[in-house]
Amino acid sequence: MPGSVLKDVDDLSSADELEAAESLICCIPTWNTGADEDRSGTAWDQHIKDIPTMNFAGKTVAIVGLGDSASYGDFFCDAMEELYTAFVQSGANLVGKVPTDGYTFNESKSVVDGMFCGLPIDEDNESDLTAERLKSWITSIQVKF
């Protein structure tokens, strides 16, 4: 992806900086277990409220989630779904859905129509799978960026 820039979401001045991008890969952790909103504990929680009022039509967006499938197996990577839904409401083209095969968890809000709405990464229990998961995901989405 030529011209890509890595940014810490907590360093963005506002969600307007997101709108300026041509396309986005957004990484979001899940905290605040079991709550209905504000699940990331990062600036994403505010941006998720702003993004649906913005226009991302024509922009491609993919989501990566960080979670812990052993300790929080009923809420695995829930925050991905909040971000996914916000971007859907903004008109963005969401790519990078992932089959649930190979993950061990009970429930996740981020399973949308039978697939994870982004790539779940579990560094707490399955860090040995991270490199391979990222590699095959990037391969699957790169033609869309």
Ligand X SMILES: Cc1cc2nc3c(=O)[nH]c(=O)nc-3n(C[C@H](O)[C@H](O)[C@H](O)COP(=O)(O)O)c2cc1C
* Tokens 């996914």 belong to residue: 84
Q: Which of 134, 22, 144 is nearest to 94 (CA)?
A: 144
Alpha-carbon distance 28 to 127, whole Å? 17
CB of 117 to ligand X, least distance (A): 14
Beta-carbon neighbour count of residue 39 at 10 Å?
28
Q: Which is nearer to ligand X, 127 or 142 (CB)?
A: 127
Out of 75, 87, 116, 137, the only residue in the binding site for ligand X (CB under 6 A) is 75
Out of 66, 86, 98, 111, the only residue in the binding site for ligand X (CB under 6 A) is 66
Q: Which is nearer to ligand X, 22 or 123 (CB)?
A: 123
Alpha-carbon distance 101 to 86, whole Å? 25
Residues contributing to the site for ligand X (CB under 6 A):
29-31, 33, 66-68, 72, 75-78, 123-124
